[in-house]
């Protein structure tokens, strides 16, 4: 039998040490976020549905995005044991320069619609963390203002080739003048994908006040106050707005983009050049001979061609074929530091985060982006320590198995099935 006694006052006092309340509402909600999915939930509560769905959504049935995320979840790690790893080094060299972490902020369009601080928050957070920031052609902050927000850090520019080529050429010249060090030449957007959430929500640029948006805005007054009391949205390339995102993209993009356009931009640009949106091994090999510095394996976050290849599944084969000749970067579906570690282990030089960054932005502006980076940094460090590797260079294929759900049907398997059916 356990002997019972009345608790002493001193013992009760030890149990009654209450944490001081946090009066700052932004800090209070961000302190409670432990994962990127937690930030996503906060973002959804604070952002009008049309703007949130623009970030969250993908093309058509959204299969490409779901499969990309599932691919990361279907990772099995293989840790070492009994290695002394008290400290890990998360830094790397990417495109000839340093990054404190093996990821940077991906280009995102219409970013100030998500939260009014927009790209300035992203560039400032990237500067503080020592990682690169990428500005989209369809960003809502100018090249020059991003440079001002991140004057000593690394700025990259994502380029669409527009129907009016001179618009794209002028952007290249401006990015060079602002000392951006890398161009991401994007090849997966000849036309806009069918983003059905945007169509169902009537999402337009700029947002239109309707009965539905007004009702949806009632529990989210801060977003609308910020939107209506801050400077009018301005785009890096578009001189006029009006219409759905798909209509804007289709009016601006050119489905005749070709290798000739890549050659022109390569000749114009003094820095590094990556081709973003590569989705086959064959195209990666073709680009290895075209004077580019690397490729970004990406299906545009699942926002273009639904049922497109899964970048993470492509990674080992692309690295095997071209990894010795150029850098291989990866995006689409990254929601944790473990996803980033798995990508580096399978040969990626670098990774890019898009939605994870925007969830943080919507949750708390620049402080929310800082929180995104902090969460991912902590997860990377913890995963590396549990794998018992001291630095990124020690990560390798021996640390990761890609568990298989989607297995292509081979010709021999089809023939065998047909023979069984014929019997």
User: Is 210 marked within a binding site?
Assistant: no
Residue 61 marked in a binding site: no
Q: Is 354 annotated as a binding residue?
A: yes
Q: State yes or no: 136 annotated in a binding site.
A: yes
d(CA 162, CA 238): 10
Strands 97-99 vs 92-94: parallel, antiparallel or unpaired: antiparallel
195 is in an annotated binding site: yes
Whether residue 46 is annotated as binding a ligand: the answer is: no
Write the CB contacts of 304 (distance below 8 Å, at least 6 apart in sequence): 59, 188, 189, 192, 193, 277
393-398's contacts with Cβ under 8 Å and 24+ in sequence apart are 395/341, 395/344, 395/345, 396/345, 397/316, 397/345, 397/346, 397/347, 398/78
Is 147 assigned to a binding site?
no
- Residue in the block written with tokens 């580019």: 292
**Residue bearing tokens 């995320």:** 69
Residue 154, annotated ligand binder? no
CA–CA distance from 60 to each of 24, 192, 265 (Å)?
40, 11, 32
Dihedral of the alpha carbons of 405, 356, 190, 204, in degrees to the nearest 10: 120
208 is in an annotated binding site: no
N-to-C CA span, the chain: 74
Q: How many CA atoms lie within 13 A of 16 on its CB side?
A: 7
Q: How far is residue 154's CA from residue 130's CA, in Å, rounded to a whole number?
A: 8
Check whether 300 is labelled as a binding-site residue: yes
What CA–CA distance (Å, rounded) separates 261 from 289?
15
R_g of the chain, CA atoms, integer Å: 23
121 Cβ partners below 8 Å, 6+ apart? Answer: 115, 361, 365, 366, 368, 369
270 burial via Cβ count (<10 Å: 0-12, 13-18, 19+): exposed
Pair of tokens at residue 328: 């291989």
Q: Is 357 marked within a binding site?
A: no
300 is catalytic: yes
Q: Which residue has the tokens 């495109």?
A: 95
List, in sequence order, every beta strand (DSSP E) within 107-147.
133-136
Q: Is 349 annotated as a binding residue?
A: no
Catalytic residue among 78, 300, 313, 329: 300
109 assigned ligand-binding residue = yes
Query: What is the β-pairing status of strands 350-353 and 103-105?
Result: parallel
273 forms bridges with which residues in the sheet? Answer: 183
Sole residue written with tokens 């944490």: 19
Residue list for the binding site for glyoxylate: 54, 160, 195, 300, 303
Binding residues: 54, 107-109, 136, 158, 160, 186, 195, 276, 298, 300, 303, 354-355
Binding residues for FMN: 107-109, 136, 158, 186, 276, 298, 354-355
Active site residues: 300
């Amino acid at each position: 039998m356990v002997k019972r006694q009345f608790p002493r006052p001193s013992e009760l006092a030890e149990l009654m040490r209450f944490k001081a309340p946090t009066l700052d509402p932004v800090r209070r909600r961000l302190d409670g976020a432990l994962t990127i999915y937690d930030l996503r939930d906060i973002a959804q509560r604070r952002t009008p549905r049309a703007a949130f769905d623009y970030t969250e959504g993908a093309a058509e049935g959204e299969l490409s995005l779901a499969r990309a995320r599932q691919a990361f979840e279907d990772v099995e790690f293989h840790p070492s044991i009994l290695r002394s790893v008290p400290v890990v080094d998360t830094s790397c060299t990417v495109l000839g320069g340093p990054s404190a972490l093996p990821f940077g902020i991906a280009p995102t369009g219409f970013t100030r619609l998500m939260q009014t601080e927009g790209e300035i928050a992203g560039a400032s957070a990237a500067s503080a963390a020592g990682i690169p920031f990428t500005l989209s052609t369809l960003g809502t902050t100018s090249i020059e203002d991003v440079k001002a927000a991140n004057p000593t850090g690394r700025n990259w520019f994502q380029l669409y080739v527009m129907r009016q080529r001179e618009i794209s050429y002028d952007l290249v010249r401006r990015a060079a003048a602002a000392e951006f060090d890398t161009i991401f030449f994007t090849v997966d957007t000849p036309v806009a994908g069918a983003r059905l959430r945007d169509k169902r929500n009537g999402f337009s640029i700029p947002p239109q006040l309707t009965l539905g948006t007004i009702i949806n805005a009632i529990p989210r007054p801060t977003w609308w106050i910020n939107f209506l009391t801050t400077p009018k949205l301005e785009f890096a390339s578009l001189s006029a707005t009006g219409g759905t995102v798909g209509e804007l993209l289709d009016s601006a993009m050119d489905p005749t983009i070709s290798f000739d356009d890549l050659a022109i931009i390569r000749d114009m640009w003094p820095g590094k050049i990556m081709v973003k949106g590569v989705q086959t091994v064959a195209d990666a090999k073709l680009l290895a001979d075209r004077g580019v510095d690397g490729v970004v394996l990406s299906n545009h976050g699942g926002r273009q061609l639904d049922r497109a290849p899964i970048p993470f599944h492509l990674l080992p084969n692309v690295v095997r074929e071209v990894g010795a000749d150029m850098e291989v970067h990866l995006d689409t579906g990254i929601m944790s530091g473990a996803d980033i570690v798995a990508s580096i282990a399978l040969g990626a030089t670098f990774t890019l985060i898009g939605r994870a960054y925007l969830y943080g932005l919507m949750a708390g502006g620049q402080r929310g982006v800082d929180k995104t980076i902090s969460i991912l940094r902590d997860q990377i460090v913890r995963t590396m320590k549990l794998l018992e590797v001291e630095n990124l260079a020690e990560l390798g294929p021996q640390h990761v198995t890609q568990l298989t759900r989607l297995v292509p049907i081979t010709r021999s398997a089809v023939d065998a099935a047909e023979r069984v059916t014929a019997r």
